Amino acid sequence: MEPEPQAGDLFDRIRNGDPIAADQLFQSVHDDLRRVAGKIARHEKGRTMHATVLVHEVWLRLFASGQRAYNDRSHFIRCAAKAMRQILIDYKRAKKARKRPQDADRVSFDILLEQFEERSGDLLALDAALERLRLAHPDLEQLIELRFFAGQTESECAQALGVVGRTIQRRWKIAQAYLKHELERND
Amino acid sequence: MTDPRQTMIRSLFERALELPPHERLAFLLQQCGGDDALRREIQMLLDSVPTDDFLDPPAVVRVALPDQIGPWAIRGELGRGNHPVCLAQRDDQVVALKVLALATASQTLQQRFLRDAASAQRLQHPHIVAVKDSGSTTEHAWIAMDLIDGHDLARELKLQLEDAPTVPRLLPDFGSPDWYRAVARICEQAASALGCAHEGGIWHRDVKPQNLLLDRQGNVLLTDFGVARDTHATRLTRTGELAGTLHYMSPEQAQQVHGQDLDHRTDLWSLGVVLYELLTLDVPYRGDTAVAVLTAIQRGRPQPIQRRNPDAPAALAAICARAMAFHRDDRYPSAAAMAADLRRFLVGQPPAPDRGARFRPLLRHVRQHRRRYSMLGGAAAIAMAAWAAAPSVLASGRQSQVRLLEEVCAPQSWESLSTTELRLAVVAADQLAGARITAAEGAVVAAFSDRLMKHLAAGKDRVRNLLRPDAPGSPEKNQQEAARLASALVTVAPDDDELRSLLPHDLDSAAVMFVVSQSDRGPPAATRSLHIAAIDTATGSRTPGPQVPARTGTHFVKPGLWRFSIVEAGKPVREYTRMLREPATRHRIDAAGEPAVDPVPMIAFGSGRLTMPAEAPWRPLAEPIEVAPFEIDQHEVSNRQFLRFVDATGSPIDRQWFDLIRADAELLDRPAVFVTFAAAQAYAEWVGKRLPTWPEWLVACGGCTKEQPFPWGTLGPDGLRGAVTGSFRPSLPWALALEEYRAHTRNVTDGAGSNREGGPLHLLGNVAEWTETPAWSPDLSEHRGTWTLLEASHLVAGRNWALSSVPRYDSAAAYAEISEITLSHCNHGRGFRCARSLP
């Protein structure tokens, strides 16, 4: 994600208690999240899923809970990725328990879920494997959240994690292998 | 990372991953020393490195869509097909909304998009994704479709190839008996959907798994008519782009850049490819480049299905082979026929035999070498080809003729024989009778002749039509004979699929079309006859053709503009004017029923000649036009009458407009407007009339009597006769349009009786009116002076109130307004009245 000085300033201003910043924050974050949400749920065949619903959910989790202290854009993106993972996992659990949201939302989420699961298999199994992975390799978990759940590109991940692109490439391969290994071990 | 062993594993794993695969084992053996557990752990991790797209985020980024498009709140993007498709909501209606961003779309793309909407909106079929609404904002055009809870077939096919057991699938496992049943059902549903589209004059041209959606019940829904060719909108589609997705293109589609020589059978090919893919999980023609694929398709002959998948049911493979026949004549004649075969598979029956298959190679040969055979009559030419050109098919001449006669005599009834077979047999018997033959052969000929005479005695028209002097005569005589044969009307039993597949395309020089005359009310009375007249597209003049008993059946005529009249006691009871095009389309004519009572009085006109000025806004004609006797309604069809028709027939209309009309009793006797050409024609046919031709309208308007030319002098002081090209449907809100209509129109009967000598006075000024005369468009660019027939456009006559304020048209008594492109075009200044031919 390109550093945008304005948005960076915004985070500073919020931390410093600037009242106007809140409105601007929503605008900036909303667009940002839409971009992210639009990307994560895209199938390689060009199938797209524009997850407005997901954006709103992420927004609620990240900002309505009172937590506003994001150091910078990178920090924010990392939190958003985690939130997206959480939302999807929660939805999947709710779906299993037959507790479903409203109609239009449900369709959207079902599509989202399926698009994720096309690439990962059962999300709940993936979540459990991620939890196990976190114990030994928290950096791999973070990368998977960013890349898989938040759909960040290699360079965006590099920026969010503060490492060079080549490292991300290597780490991504390792993360994939570890996670797959974890998933298979569970089977 | 606190565990040192874990740290070591990861570090070694990372280093091993950097090495080429064949060096990894040596590396690990060296690094791990005797610790086999460590080596195995790392080896497992190395084996886990995914080669597929596990967890990989996709690379493409697209421009985000807005939250709101027109009335629709965008809830998400579904993204199937050629355009972004989103989930959209309006009130409590949730739909799939196909969106086109106008700023980035080329003109062609925009037209295609709108055509998609128009084409699909006309089609209603359980296996076609229903289009609910369409529209545009300044930035986007949109089509609202039924939301299908499911996936496209391409995804399901891909899932079968992948080993991903956790992903929910909509189809059973590949290769299982359930799979083949599902395949047959999918293709059957798709074929019946295509059949519906073809009947509506629309060829999809882009049938592929991505455009076949599967819902949760496993039902298939056809979507994306974006590259469809609508036979009603000919001009739009000749854009020359290579439409359709490569692997699913038919040979003729791959060959033709201009797409002019395609017909509905290109869709059957594409569906055949889909079936092939479902049976083998691969497309029949592969190639590294687009050109390689196209070349492979044009070369023909894919690998047989059962070589790729020996388990595939033979019946399905046969159906696929027929759908994918290289020559389209060898394919199913219609999507319905293909659907029927698939249904047969589902109930365990073999596919219907393709009885034309024997003859078609010969017929193709005749067509290719038409000139060589043109000295002979049509049927003789076909028979000649049988032994002259394709001995492999019918052995040697005499033997094959004898065998043909034997085959023809074998069945109990001749109803099941195609007319071409009978023709061949008649010619063969003729030839044999004049040749030296054995006694056994003579017996066969005699048996056939006996049979033929019996049929003749039984009054079988079909047989009588076949019998004609076939002896070779002078070239002129033969040419006349060929022409007669070409225009001869052949009547056969309805629903003869084989015949239909054979005749329209195979009869020598006659590119024939057919018309089914059929009725819900039983057979027509014996006193009725069917008169068929060719209508000149430029002048509306009619050339009487064959007259036959009005029996239920299939009739074949050449493509063109035809008028079919059901005549009783010398007067037409019903009239239908139809533009018949290739390929064969079915048109229904009600020969039995009585028309609805029409209260509008008519005024009769005798025959006369109409001189058209050279600078007229239609195709200029040097010769005066002969106008045959006719009668025409004294006034326009009123809202009251039109709504009566709508209520009785359920004919589709612009509900919004007519709801406003219904709400106001004062408007009921005003002329009906916002009536499409198709609706106007349907009304006219409902009351047993037709729309007037353009010349007829002018005659009525000018009070033309016998031998009196149309008084062109009354056209206005400046001599201008205006032509309006294109539409002027106002972008007015309905309420405003209604106000204009209320202010400017008058009741249809006002003044209608005060006709001057010979004609109604008030054809002008109230509303412009539809005529059935097709419009010709002048080519003003390169080929100045040439004219193109706009097959789906019709001339509109008369001056309407909306234009009376425009000075140019103020004084004009009549002008031709060329309606734009489609049958459905209409506006609030255009109504209609009916006419009828007189004997």
Q: Enumerate the residues of chain B whose CB falls inside 8 A of the CB of residue A49.
A: 76-79
Are B610 and B624 a contacting pair, CB within 8 Å?
yes
Predicted confidence (pLDDT) per residue in B703-742, tens digit: 433 333 333 333 333 332 322 222 233 345 566 677 777 8
Can you name the residues that pair with B454 across neighbouring β-strands?
A: none
Query: Domains of chain B, with CATH numbers?
Result: 4-48 (no CATH), 68-346 (1.10.510.10), 360-487 (no CATH), 511-594 (2.60.40.1120), 609-837 (3.90.1580)
Kindly tell me if the per-residue pLDDT of A170 is higher than 50: yes
User: What is the rounded average pLDDT of the residues B580-590?
Assistant: 59
Which residue has better confidence, B625 or B371?
A: B625
* pTM: predicted TM-score of the whole model, two decimal places: 0.40
**Average pLDDT for chain B:** 69
Can you name the residues that pair with B774 across neighbouring β-strands?
A: B794
Edge-first strand order for the sheet with B787-797 is B723-725, B816-818, B787-797, B768-778, B830-831
Pairing of strands B816-818, B723-725: parallel
Q: What is the DSSP string of A12-31?
A: HHHHTT-STHHHHHHHHHHH
Q: Enumerate the residues of chain B whose CB falls inside 8 A of the CB of residue A138.
A: 1
Is the CB of B64 less than 8 angstroms away from the CB of A181? no
* Residue B789 identity (one-letter amino acid): L
Kindly tell me if the per-residue pLDDT of A44 is higher than 50: no
Substitution target in A31, A50, A85, A102 with the highest count of B β-carbons within 10 Å is: A50
Which residue has better confidence, B178 or B431?
A: B178
Are A34 and B76 a contacting pair, CB within 8 Å?
no
Helices (H), B627-672: 639-649, 655-662
**Average pLDDT for chain A:** 69
Is the CB of B57 less than 8 angstroms away from the CB of A40? yes
Query: Poorest-confidence range of B68-72, B617-621, B754-758?
Result: B754-758
Identify which of B49, B60, B75 has the shortest CB distance to residue A52. Answer: B75
Q: How many domains does chain A have?
A: 1
CA distance B97 to B115: 16
| Buried b or exposed e, range B642-671, using 16+ CB within 10 angstroms | bbbbbeeeebebbeebbebbeeeeebbbbb
pLDDT in the model for residue A57: 66
Instruction: Determine whether B288 is an active site residue.
Output: no
Kindly tell me if the per-residue pLDDT of B338 is higher than 90: yes
If you average pLDDT over each of A72-86, B52-66, B416-430, which comes out highest?
A72-86
Are B76 and B90 a contacting pair, CB within 8 Å?
no
CA distance A167 to B662: 74
Instruction: For residue A130, give both structure tokens.
Output: 């991620």
Nearest CA distance, A89 vs chain B (angstrom): 15
Nearest CA distance, A75 vs chain B (angstrom): 20
Q: Which of the following is catalytic: B206, B263, B470, B590?
A: B206
The answer to whether B17 faces chain A, any CB pair under 8 Å, is yes
Are B767 and B636 a contacting pair, CB within 8 Å?
yes
User: What is the rounded average pLDDT of the residues B665-678?
Assistant: 86
Residue partners of B517: CB distance under 8 A and separation at least 6: B524, B530, B550, B551, B552, B553, B555, B564, B588, B589, B590, B591
Which residue has better confidence, B520 or B160?
A: B160
The answer to whether A30 faces chain B, any CB pair under 8 Å, is no
CA distance B170 to B158: 12
Measuring CA to CA, which residue among B749, B630, B643 is closest to residue B686?
B643
Domain that holds residue A155: 5-186
Q: What are phi and psi of B741, to 5 degrees?
A: -60, -45
Nearest CA in chain B to A179: B48
Q: What are phi and psi of B288, to 5 degrees?
A: -75, -30
Substitution target in A118, A169, A179 with the highest count of B β-carbons within 10 Å is: A118
pLDDT in the model for residue A20: 61
Substitution target in A2, A35, A43, A45 with the highest count of B β-carbons within 10 Å is: A45
Predicted confidence (pLDDT) per residue in B28-74, tens digit: 888 888 888 888 888 888 888 876 667 765 433 344 567 788 888 88
Kindly tell me if the per-residue pLDDT of A164 is higher than 60: yes
Is the CB of A118 less than 8 angstroms away from the CB of B167? yes
Kindly tell me if the per-residue pLDDT of B106 is higher than 50: yes
HSE on the CB side for B377, CA within 13 Å?
24
pLDDT in the model for residue B17: 84
Identify which of B50, B59, B62 has the shortest CB distance to residue A180. Answer: B50
Helix, strand, coil fractions of chain B, as percent rounded to 5: 40, 20, 45
ipTM score of complex: 0.76
Helices (H), B492-651: 497-506, 639-649
Predicted confidence (pLDDT) per residue in B245-297, tens digit: 678 888 877 765 444 467 888 899 999 999 999 998 888 887 655 666 777 77
Is the CB of B62 less than 8 angstroms away from the CB of A48? yes
Helix (H/G/I), strand (E/B), else coil: B798: coil
User: What is the rounded average pLDDT of the residues B656-661?
Assistant: 83
Q: Enumerate the residues of chain A whose CB falls inside 8 A of the CB of residue B3.
A: 136
pLDDT in the model for residue B24: 83
The answer to whether B599 faces chain A, any CB pair under 8 Å, is no
- End-to-end, the C-alpha distance of chain B in Å comes to 101
